[in-house]
Amino acid sequence: MTTEVKVPTLGESITEATLGQWLKKVGDTVAVDEPIASLETDKVAVEVPSPVAGTIGALVVAEGDTVEVGALIATIEAGGAGAAPAAPAAKAEAAPAATAAQQAPAVPAKTSDALAPSAKRAAGETGIDPSTVTGTGKDGRVTRIDIEGAAANAKAAPAPVPAQAAAPASTAGGRKEERVRMTRLRQTVAKRLKEAQNTAAMLTTFNDVDMTEVIAARTKYKDLFEKKHGVRLGFMGFFVKAACQALRDIPAVNGSIEGDEIVYRDYADISVAVSAPNGLVVPVIRDAQDLSVAGIEKTIGDFGKRAKDGTLKMDEMKGGTFTISNGGVFGSLMSTPIINPPQSAVLGLHRIEERPVVVKGEIVIRPMMYLALSYDHRLIDGREAVTFLVALKNAIEDPTRLLIDL
């Protein structure tokens, strides 16, 4: 019996997606609920599970195609393991030439590994053949890190160097270009960020913060914290907690404009940027004002793990009231972050750098961080923006304030 696999419901207001990659090929056996494909939506990658146990009969669309909710993407021939090999053979004989052409791009060179777009780009940039790389990802898939690691090893090895040097000789003086289709996530990010620039009266104000006390607290308690809570004590827990207190005192920064009305909130749903295979995603810490530093760190840790696994849900990306983006983990010294509509402000954190500062009339070396608050000037005045950053600065420089609610 042939079972059709269709694009599942992807969430409110999402009507289409891009077929990011096939995780199975024609003839592969699958179990019930085993992922067979990955769909890229506007926000996250969603895996499509097999509705039945059987054998992949046909892959109807190719990687990179846009598919609508409810569209047919594959067929599965149900049956026992013994009958499984015969099913795809019969299907292949009856399949038209067009179907075969559609299936061809979906079969990876190394059949046990389905390459993600980031891994494909890395392979193209480094010239590494994915079939020669041992995958460390889920189900043995080759990841971008695997490709880059293989490239680094190839540069270090003495033998491959002459071969690599010989390749450019055949195209001496030539210049290469590569065109890669934007992922749906990147298209949506580009569109929303440009809309934010066109709509909001965006302005950025800066301050700096002495991280001495937070670093000391983290150094003193990080081992006990991890032992008790099962998660590492980072800096984001302090900043989210401090931001919640500052948002309570300066409600405009946590508000938004809807038509000719301003919406003020007595809760803080904090969006935090975390890394995913296809770029940054921004899940939301709900009711962050009610969480302890430990609760915040646990939530962020869970988001980070599931972002890498591709298991974040779309509902977890919606409804944030304020965003914190930490460019410091990538080495950023200073930036002007862009607001994520309909939010009215975003806080940018940057790298910690030892700098000379004057304390009580003496020049001392302190670990300093620049803070940047981009905000919609239609709603938030400069005085409110500066007051928010000063409140945040005071809480970080004296973490006791977070405990006694000052």
- Express each pLDDT in 100-122 by its tens digit: 444 444 444 444 345 666 667 66
**What is the per-residue pLDDT across 197-210, written as a single tens digit (0 to 9) for each?**
888 889 999 999 99
Other Cβ atoms less than 10 A from the Cβ of 66: the count is: 12
- Nearest-angstrom CA–CA distance, 356 and 210: 11
For residues 349, 352, 354 and 359, what is the CA-based torsion angle, rounded to 10 degrees? 50
Residues in the chain: 406
What digits encode the pLDDT tens for the residues 23-59? 888 888 888 888 888 887 766 667 788 888 888 888 8
The Cα–Cα gap between 86 and 27 comes to 9
CB 135 within 8 A of CB 143: yes
Mean pLDDT (the chain) is 80
pLDDT confidence band for 149 (50 / 70 / 90):
low
Contacts of 189 (CB under 8 A, 6+ apart): 279
362-368 contacts at long range (C-beta below 8 A, 24 or more positions apart) = 366/210, 366/211, 366/212, 367/210, 367/211, 367/212, 367/215, 368/208, 368/209, 368/210, 368/211
Write down all domains in the chain, each with its CATH number in brackets. Answer: 2-107 (2.40.50.100), 112-164 (4.10.320.10), 185-404 (3.30.559.10)
Catalytic center residues? 377, 381
* Dihedral, 133, 136, 140, 146 alpha carbons, nearest 10: -30
pLDDT of residue 123: 74
As a whole number of angstroms, the distance between CA 232 and CA 219 comes to 11
CB 322 within 8 A of CB 339: no
The tens digit of pLDDT for each residue in 290-308 reads 999 999 999 999 998 888 8
Whether residue 117 has a cis bond before it, omega within 30° of 0: no
Q: What is the mean pLDDT of residues 344-350?
A: 95
Residues above pLDDT 70, as percent of the chain: 77
pLDDT for position 137 = 61
What's the rounded Cα separation, in Å, for the pair 102 and 372?
48
Structure confidence by residue, pLDDT tens digits, 49-94: 888 888 888 888 888 788 888 888 888 887 644 333 433 333 334 4
